[in-house]
Structure 1
Amino acid sequence: MLAQLDARFRRPLNRFFHSRTRDSAESEDLTQEVFLRLTRRAGDGPLENVDAFVFTVAANLLRDRGRRQSVRGVSVDHAETLERGRSVDSALVEEIHPQRVLDAKDDLKRALQALNELPTRTQDAFVLRRVEGMSIKEVALTLGVSVSAVEKHLARAVAHLAARLAD
């Protein structure tokens, strides 16, 4: 069973991680970690939605990586700044107005609400294609449906989101 999951998910997971880390070795390590967690989870019985589990684990691993790097990055950047005896030029840092942040959060909330109104399969197809950057063929293989079905799900999702966000 693990061989089937490997054949199905290794390439999409590597692409998912590499597009975010830009590091092939780290992408492979993170992919291996997903499979390790799948192996550990196998003893708990069958999964209802393997696709959701795999990409939830992947997203969580990436989030944890980001947290670790931000903690390390802050201390390293601070040490480098002190060592060089200079600070970052404030003209190089974009000022983000609080209203812009609130508007963006509101827009994101509306988009997520609209996405959650769609059937699960349509949501999965949209997220894998538009967020994860998979090809339509890869989405079809991941979801176990035809390319035509993926195209229909994507069209339905885009039309729904456009209509809901135009309000």
Structure 2
Amino acid sequence: MKQTANNQGQMIANFYTVHYAELVNFATSRLGNREEGEDLIQDVFIKMMSFEGMINEETIKSFAFTIAANKVKDLLRRRIFRHKMEENAKYEMELQHSHVERMAEYHDTLRMVNDSMARLSPACAKVYRMSLFEDMTAGDIAQEMNVSKRTVESQLFTSRKQVRAMLNMAM
């Protein structure tokens, strides 16, 4: 027997009156929040009204609980997705903050190294700068400066020792 839309609406309204608390408890137990459970069950009944001719006395309860279970799953999925997005945003902010801190530390260290190098003799400063910033070996520096490799190694040793001591005092 086919129901009219009016009869189906009345049947859903009666079901709503009788089973509302049971459905809200079902949703609340899965969501952990009564207000969300109530909102979700209201959406369930609105959705049930759109299934004209598909709901009858025998199927209404399973229909309502199936829709409720699906809406709970959707809500939990959205909650998880939102949580992941918030975590990603938080992680990105921490990375940016960390990057800013590392850049500040890098610039502070570079400034201290440059200040320390300014106190070295001109020859030691030049050798140290070529080694540190131009990534040249002692042999390459010796060849470019037209001095012995041993002289460059000695100046590097002296420069590193003095810069290290000045950096230790600064920190």
TM-score by length of 1: 0.45
TM-score by length of 2: 0.44
Q: Which has the higher contact order (CA 8 A, sep 6+)?
A: 1
